Amino acid sequence: MLILGINAYHGDVAAVLLHDGALVAAIEEERFRRVKHWAGFPEQAIQECLRIAGASPADIDRVAVSRNPRAHLWRKAMFAVRNRPDPRLLADRARNAFNVTRLYTRLSESLALPVDHVRRRIDFVEHHPAHLASSFFASPFEEAAVCAIDGFGDFVSTSSASGAGSRLRVSDRVFFPHSLGLLYLAITQFLGFSRYGDEFKVMGLAPYGEPIFADRIRQLVHVDEDGEVRLNLPYFSHWSQGVAMTWDDGEPSIGPVFTPLLETLLGPARQRDDALDARHEAMAASLQLVHEECVFRVLRALHRRTRQSRLCLAGGCAMNSVANGKVRAQTPFSEVYIQPASGDNGTALGAALHSWHARGGRREFVMTHGYWGPEFDNDEIARDIHGVDTAGRVARQRIDDEETLCQWTAERIADGKVVGWFQGRMEWGARALGNRSIVADPRRADMRDIINTRIKFREKFRPFAPSIAVEALDEYFVDAVPDPFMIQVYPVRPDKREVIPAVTHVDGSGRLQTVSRESNPRYWCLIEAFRALTGVPVLLNTSFNENEPIVHRPAEALDCFLRTNMDVLVMGNHVLEKLSN
Ligand SMILES: [Fe+2]
């Protein structure tokens, strides 16, 4: 059975394809459109999934969509009656409502199949069950507690469940307008980070400050012993006034969700171009602290109900890698699974897995790596390289022996060069995991500034992450567990912080990715070659891009390499080195 899963008309739209319950391909539309978090319809991601599977649209048995416009209708109506929201809110809601007719039409056009054919095959999977399914059904756990925390989806912001085999039983939900994701969004906006998905910047800023505003931020939210979340609503506008949102054909955007009252509590809001100062750092630290307190309270309540030792997390808040790394220490859960696309992109996967298991499918698939996108062979790469005029600027060669290729590259990294590393299948999820990565020497403290000023042009406070050979994890990190998806932050051992300063954040932590020979042989080989040269089994790994979605095709990697001050580009077996650097 072939199941197409899609997240459509939302942020981070994506498509995945399951064959008999096993994942074949998973891709975000932003990589094709070259606009971050692309919202709309995942047209090209669908086509690429089919191409990878060697399937035609007529082969698709089910189309699972990670929205259910009929979910919680009664509750939505009651909310409107009780709260009499501003007509602008109702107008916004109507404008952004999920339009089923439009979805049928668009799918029918995209797949070149009659509307009726498509309509008969669609499963609408509510947003939160899709989040839950994306984690539990991809996890190695036969039984687990499962939790999804986000802004909102289908009127829900937090859901807790028990997973066993092919069953997922939702036990608790937090409904609109209460939401931990929305609290994080509000303070992120308050701090002047107004673009969709900017929350991770606030998380990166937090370790620079002291949480002196924690008591004030605690006034905005309450989580009780049962994990019930309550926002102090007068500080928020999303439930009473219109919030400008766009979800179609472009970068998604969400207008301010806080009211002027928030400034009476926290002082003046920062404007986007204002300098960041100690007050903003303290506010970020306070938000992160309170967010963690709230999340751990929700998780402890879930543990009391389920008595499971294993936990699967999903939802936008499961992208908070700092909180994720503390779950085992702060809650009774001893094992945690989070797949790499835990944001709304992952609901495409969850919808498909949900649909498969609802039809009695077997549980055999476990997501152990994140490489589910397109790949390009050496001939395709060569064609793109030959199509670009690099005469006099770049030396090219092809190195077919993998060990020699890794040795050649490791020598340049150890020599301080910044290397674009483009290999195999593109990553699923927001993190580059060694297939569309920029890699560099983590031992050089100045490497952050070098990459920031020469290539990435991003905020200086944001940390860079380490890829580490899984065998060396305990040698470098405190109480960490292997994580191939770079979604948990752990303390770097104090004696190693000076060894890898470029990937150690200001608080001594690192958002690590463990690399094993099994999950990514070529990347592991590169790290091993670097270890043989330097004694350090760690590389600085940042996504291969320059303020854009991660590069997808060789041509985009070449373009990024040539327009920035990257020194070396390794694509498949082809290596390019700038002569002037
Ligand atoms: Fe979500």
Predicted confidence (pLDDT) per residue in 341-361, tens digit = 999 999 999 999 999 999 999
Residues 92 and 192 in one domain: no
93 confidence band (pLDDT: 50, 70, 90): low
The average pLDDT across 426-448 equals 97
Residues 312 and 198 in one domain: yes
Q: Is the pLDDT of residue 581 over 60?
A: no
Q: How far is the CA of 531 from the centre of ligand 1 (A)?
A: 40
Average pLDDT of every residue of the chain: 95
Q: What confidence tens digit (pLDDT) does each residue in 556-579 have?
A: 999 999 999 999 999 999 999 999
Neighbours of 544 (CB within 10 A): 26
392 confidence band (pLDDT: 50, 70, 90): confident
Residues 354 and 383 in one domain: no
Q: How far is the CA of 145 from the centre of ligand 1 (A)?
A: 18
Query: What is the number of structural domains in the chain?
Result: 3
Q: How far is the CA of 281 from the centre of ligand 1 (A)?
A: 27
The average pLDDT across 85-90 equals 70
391 confidence band (pLDDT: 50, 70, 90): confident
Per-residue pLDDT at 228 = 97
Q: How far is the CA of 489 from the centre of ligand 1 (A)?
A: 22
Q: How far is the CA of 50 from the centre of ligand 1 (A)?
A: 25
Q: Is the pLDDT of residue 242 over 90?
A: no
In a domain, 370, yes or no: no
Residues 178 and 320 in one domain: yes
Residues 482 and 429 in one domain: yes
In a domain, 371, yes or no: no
250: tokens are 């472009």
Q: How far is the CA of 148 from the centre of ligand 1 (A)?
A: 8
Residues 428 and 546 in one domain: yes
Alpha carbon separation from 337 to 49, 483, 541 (Å, rounded): 25, 9, 22
| 405/573 Cα distance (integer angstroms) | 7
Per-residue pLDDT at 99 = 80
Residues 313 and 353 in one domain: no
Q: How far is the CA of 38 from the centre of ligand 1 (A)?
A: 15
Per-residue pLDDT at 321 = 97
Q: Is the pLDDT of residue 146 over 80?
A: yes
What percentage of the chain carries pLDDT values higher than 70? 98
96 confidence band (pLDDT: 50, 70, 90): low
- Sign for the pseudo-dihedral over CA of 536, 542, 546, 549: positive
In a domain, 249, yes or no: yes
Q: How many residues does the chain have?
A: 581
Q: How far is the CA of 149 from the centre of ligand 1 (A)?
A: 7
Q: How far is the CA of 318 from the centre of ligand 1 (A)?
A: 10
In 3D, which of 414, 406, 393 has the Cα closest to residue 570? 406
Q: How far is the CA of 65 from the centre of ligand 1 (A)?
A: 13
Q: If you compute the radius of gyration of the chain from its CA atoms, what whole number of angstroms results? A: 23
60 confidence band (pLDDT: 50, 70, 90): very high
Q: How far is the CA of 153 from the centre of ligand 1 (A)?
A: 5
Q: How far is the CA of 251 from the centre of ligand 1 (A)?
A: 16
DSSP 456: I
Q: Is the pLDDT of residue 82 over 90?
A: no
In 3D, which of 324, 323, 313 has the Cα closest to residue 161? 313
Q: How far is the CA of 123 from the centre of ligand 1 (A)?
A: 18
Q: How far is the CA of 176 from the centre of ligand 1 (A)?
A: 13
In 3D, which of 351, 360, 329, 347 has the Cα closest to residue 490? 329
Q: Identify the weakest region by mean pLDDT among 81-90, 162-171, 430-439, 504-513.
A: 81-90
Q: How far is the CA of 181 from the centre of ligand 1 (A)?
A: 9
Residues 59 and 105 in one domain: yes
Q: How far is the CA of 530 from the centre of ligand 1 (A)?
A: 39
In a domain, 363, yes or no: no
First-residue to last-residue Cα distance in the chain: 53
Residues 251 and 126 in one domain: no
Residues 330 and 353 in one domain: no
The average pLDDT across 256-278 equals 96
Q: How far is the CA of 160 from the centre of ligand 1 (A)?
A: 14
Q: How far is the CA of 376 from the centre of ligand 1 (A)?
A: 31
Q: How far is the CA of 268 from the centre of ligand 1 (A)?
A: 30
Range of the structural domain that residue 172 is part of? 149-342
Q: What confidence tens digit (pLDDT) does each residue in 101-117 have?
A: 889 999 999 999 999 99
Q: How far is the CA of 15 from the centre of ligand 1 (A)?
A: 15
Choice between 391 and 378, residue whose per-residue pLDDT is larger: 378
Residues 155 and 118 in one domain: no
Residues 328 and 418 in one domain: no
Per-residue pLDDT at 509 = 97
Q: How far is the CA of 195 from the centre of ligand 1 (A)?
A: 17
Q: What confidence tens digit (pLDDT) does each residue in 172-206 have?
A: 999 999 999 999 999 999 999 999 999 999 999 99
Q: What confidence tens digit (pLDDT) does each residue in 276-285 have?
A: 999 999 999 9
77 confidence band (pLDDT: 50, 70, 90): confident
The average pLDDT across 438-465 equals 92
- Identify the CATH number of the domain in which residue 54 sits: 3.30.420.40
In a domain, 102, yes or no: yes
459 confidence band (pLDDT: 50, 70, 90): confident
| 543/547 Cα distance (integer angstroms) | 10
Conformational region of residue 249, where left means phi above 0, alpha means psi within -120 to 50, and beta covers everything else: left
In a domain, 389, yes or no: yes
In a domain, 492, yes or no: yes
In a domain, 373, yes or no: no
Q: How far is the CA of 402 from the centre of ligand 1 (A)?
A: 40
Q: Cβ contacts of residue 358 below 8 Å, gap of 6+?
A: 123
